[in-house]
Amino acid sequence: RLFDELFRMMATPSAFTTRGAVYPAVNIYDDGESFLVRAEVAGIDKESLDITAKRDQLTVRGTRTLKPAEDNASWHRREREGGQFRRTVTLPQPIDAEKVVATYKDGVLEIVLPRAAEAKQRRIPVM
């Protein structure tokens, strides 16, 4: 288990890791025209988010600032991480980076990544 955890951490060195999970957690959907990425980024100021898209990759960077405990307090449990993170996901097909749109509401970052024209499926009529 120790080696598994070490290899998992090496695969994502710049993302938060908590109990085997990579931060931020993402869901990626495909509707045939676009990819939709939803990332959980609760507690992060949207101005600290940096989103870049190129070919078939999406990168989300940001900083989570945690309020420190009082000077006379000691930790009982610490599960939330703070600091900088970077999460890069590779999509199955190229996207049109000029048409990517991102919104942030209620701690969820939603990114719509339209497929590049050459990656869209075309129906070929039979003559």
How far apart (Å, rounded) are the C-alpha atoms in residues 60 and 86? 6
Provide mean pLDDT across the span 43-69: 91
Instruction: Tell me: pLDDT of 93 over 50.
Output: yes
pLDDT at 61: 94
Burial level of 72, CB count in 10 A (0-12/13-18/19+)? exposed
Q: At 119, list the tokens.
A: 């990656």
Q: Pick the residue with more confidence: 71 or 88? A: 88
Judged against a pLDDT cut of 90, whether residue 101 lies above it is answered with yes
Residues 6+ apart with CB under 8 A from 102: 49, 51, 109, 110, 111, 112
Q: Does residue 122 have a pLDDT over 80?
A: no
The pLDDT of residue 74: 82
Check: CB of residue 91 under 8 Å from CB of residue 57: yes
123 and 102 in contact (C-beta within 8 Å)? Answer: no
Q: What is the pLDDT of residue 12?
A: 47
Give residues with Cβ within 8 angstroms of 100, minimum separation 6. Answer: 51, 53, 111, 112, 113, 114
pLDDT over 70 (residue 14): no
Report the predicted TM-score, pTM, of the whole model to 2 decimal places.
0.75
**Tokens 């009982």 sit at which residue?**
76
Query: What's the confidence (pLDDT) of residue 97?
Result: 93
**Structure confidence at residue 70 as a pLDDT band (50, 70, 90):** confident
Say if residues 94 and 116 touch (Cβ distance below 8 Å).
yes
Mean pLDDT to the nearest integer, 39-53: 92
Residue 43's pLDDT is 86
Q: Does the pLDDT at position 115 exceed 60? A: yes
